[in-house]
């Protein structure tokens, strides 16, 4: 037996193993004997050493293999801290509205309607049809399937008064959900370092997209009646902002729907400022006692860039939204979309078009309207009975949320934690403010699972609030 030979074979085989995938079969003992001009005993010894080092394993009668199950060791990524520097912004990776709720939790925190509010049968049959058609194996045009573009354009055209020019299919860009559209609009129309006016509070996803785009957020206060147009005017004057992001119908979280007067005055401000109104019509399908009246219908000079998603009303699996924009702005946004995703899956586009053009879709939306009304009213009544210290800012005419003001001295994080301990998830209002919140708020979503538990949820909230007195 030759110790040096054995060490030499160990070294050579270590190099071989380092280059081999896990599970690779080592040369046979006979081959190793020949290659290394060593005795079988020397080769066997080398293999034993490698086995003891955890690098190989023998399967008797089969052969010797590079070990597939690796020894886990703690990995050292400290160097990345230097490479990455400080994170660019304050936004946490997961917002309350995205948190998964365990079975049995009363979930008033989520932003997504529960399954019973979705057109499940339509979704399944549309996807099945799409799976059989050409869209399953082909690439759609960059801006979307023309028929789906036309559907989005026609829907908005319904809101266009006589004398104004309605949008056409070629003004529409189909998107894989509205979140990526917000990022694109902010990058393309505002740009890093430039000012973007936003309502405060407003949709947390828009705040996140704005921070990702690196724009400078200029908050204007907004409440149950929407923003004050004079505040918006002042924000434009003082900052030279290029755009105002807003939700004129059933704003998330406040539920505000702009009056006709507010709409006209804000449109005047936007026109006078040579700026864009980025209208996020997120709850277009969720009117309760009114219907969504897109401001974009009242503009044909390219001032309103409209975005509207089907994801919440159709299915989270059908991530389809659209931007309607006219003039060079559309071109600018399209260039950003190509850089972001090239195109949108034809399967999802075809399924979305199939669903919204079925007669059953209209009937489904009527059913949703009535269910949302019952759910909203039950939660409103439950709060007023069991949690009188939670002050409802308004009863929204549409949307999915109540916006609740809590007593000034409420410790919001502690309250959210206490509720969670009693199996009630609520959305801390702070996540909807791009600036410091003027007080403690909660967002309570009434489109989640099990509305029958709303009274119990209100009782828990009431108890937790009383305890914090």
Residues between 225 and 264 that touch a second copy (CB under 8 A): 242, 260
- Least CB distance to a second copy at residue 86 (A): 11
Owner of token pair 């030499």: 8
Tokens of 283: 């709850």
- Least CB distance to a second copy at residue 249 (A): 15
List the interface residues with a second copy, window 77-116 (CB under 8 A).
77, 79-84, 87-88, 91, 93-95, 98, 100, 112, 115
Count interface residues toward a second copy (CB under 8 A): 110
- Least CB distance to a second copy at residue 209 (A): 6
**Rule CB under 8 A: is residue 34 a binding residue for a second copy?**
no
List the interface residues with a second copy, window 283-342 (CB under 8 A).
297, 300-302, 315-319, 326-329, 331-332, 334-336, 338-342
Map residues 373-412 to x or -, x wherever contact with a second copy holds by CB under 8 A: ----------------------------------------
- Least CB distance to a second copy at residue 130 (A): 7
Tokens of 212: 């990702």
Name the CA dihedral angle for 355, 357, 363, 368, rounded to a multiple of 10 degrees: 50
Q: Which of 255, 287, 346, 451 binds a second copy (CB under 8 A)?
A: 346
Residue-wise burial string across 192-219, b where 16 or more C-beta atoms lie within 10 A, e elsewhere: eebbbbbbbbbbbbbbbbbbbbebebbb
HSE at residue 358, side-chain half, CA atoms within 13 A, is 17
Tokens of 351: 């399924």
d(CA 55, CA 97): 46
Q: Burial-class residue 416 by CB neighbours within 10 Å (0-12, 13-18, 19+).
A: buried
Region from 132-140, 373-381, 411-419, 441-449 binding a second copy, contact rule CB under 8 A: 132-140
Q: Is 179 helix (H, G, I), strand (E, B) or coil?
A: helix
**Rule CB under 8 A: is residue 223 a binding residue for a second copy?**
no
**Rule CB under 8 A: is residue 7 a binding residue for a second copy?**
no
DSSP string, 276-291: EEEEE-TTTT-BSSS-
**Rule CB under 8 A: is residue 21 a binding residue for a second copy?**
yes
Tokens of 185: 């609009």
Contact 160, 293 (CB under 8 A): no
List the interface residues with a second copy, window 150-189 (CB under 8 A).
157-166, 176-177, 179-180, 183, 187, 189
**Rule CB under 8 A: is residue 75 a binding residue for a second copy?**
yes
Owner of token pair 């957020």: 217
């Amino acid at each position: 037996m030759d110790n040096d030979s054995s060490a030499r074979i160990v070294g050579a085989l270590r190099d071989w193993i380092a280059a081999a995938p896990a599970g690779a079969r080592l040369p046979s003992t006979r081959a190793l004997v020949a290659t290394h001009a060593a005795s079988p005993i020397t080769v066997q010894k080398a293999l034993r050493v490698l086995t003891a080092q955890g690098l190989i394993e023998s399967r008797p009668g089969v052969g010797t293999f590079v070990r597939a199950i690796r020894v886990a060791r703690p990995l050292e990524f400290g160097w990345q801290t230097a490479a990455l520097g400080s994170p660019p912004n304050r936004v946490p990776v997961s917002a309350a509205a995205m948190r998964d709720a365990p079975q049995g939790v009363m979930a008033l925190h989520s932003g997504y309607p529960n399954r019973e509010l979705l057109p499940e049968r339509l979704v399944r049959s549309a996807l099945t049809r799409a799976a059989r058609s050409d869209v399953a194996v082909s690439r759609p045009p960059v801006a979307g399937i023309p028929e789906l573009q036309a559907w989005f354009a026609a829907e908005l055209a319904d809101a266009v008064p006589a004398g104004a020019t309605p949008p056409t299919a070629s003004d529409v860009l189909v998107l894989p959900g509205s979140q990526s559209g917000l990022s694109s609009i902010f990058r393309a129309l505002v740009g890093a370092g430039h000012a973007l006016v936003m309502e405060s509070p407003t949709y947390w996803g828009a705040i996140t997209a704005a921070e990702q785009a690196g724009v400078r957020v200029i908050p204007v206060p907004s409440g149950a009646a929407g923003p004050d147009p004079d505040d918006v005017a002042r924000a434009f004057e003082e900052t030279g902002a290029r755009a105002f992001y807003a939700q004129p119908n059933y704003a998330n979280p406040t539920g505000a729907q702009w009056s006709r007067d507010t709409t006209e005055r804000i449109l005047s401000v936007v026109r006078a400022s040579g700026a864009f109104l980025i209208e996020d019509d997120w709850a277009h399908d969720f009117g309760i006692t009114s219907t969504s009246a897109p401001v974009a219908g009242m503009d044909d000079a390219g001032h309103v860039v409209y975005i509207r998603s089907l994801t919440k009303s159709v299915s989270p699996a059908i991530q389809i939204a659209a931007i309607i924009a006219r003039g060079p702005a559309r071109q600018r946004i399209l260039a950003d979309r190509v850089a972001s995703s090239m195109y949108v899956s034809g399967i999802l586009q075809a399924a979305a078009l199939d669903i919204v053009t079925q007669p059953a879709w209209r009937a489904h939306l009527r059913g949703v309207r009535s269910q949302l009304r019952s759910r909203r009213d039950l939660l409103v009544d439950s709060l007023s009975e069991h949690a009188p210290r939670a002050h409802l800012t308004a009863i929204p005419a549409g949307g999915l949320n109540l916006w609740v003001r809590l007593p000034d001295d409420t410790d919001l994080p502690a309250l959210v934690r206490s509720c969670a301990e009693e199996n009630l998830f609520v959305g801390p209002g702070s996540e909807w403010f791009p600036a410091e919140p003027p007080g403690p708020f909660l967002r309570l979503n009434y489109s989640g699972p099990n509305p029958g538990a709303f009274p119990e949820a209100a009782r828990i909230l009431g108890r937790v609030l009383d305890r914090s007195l």
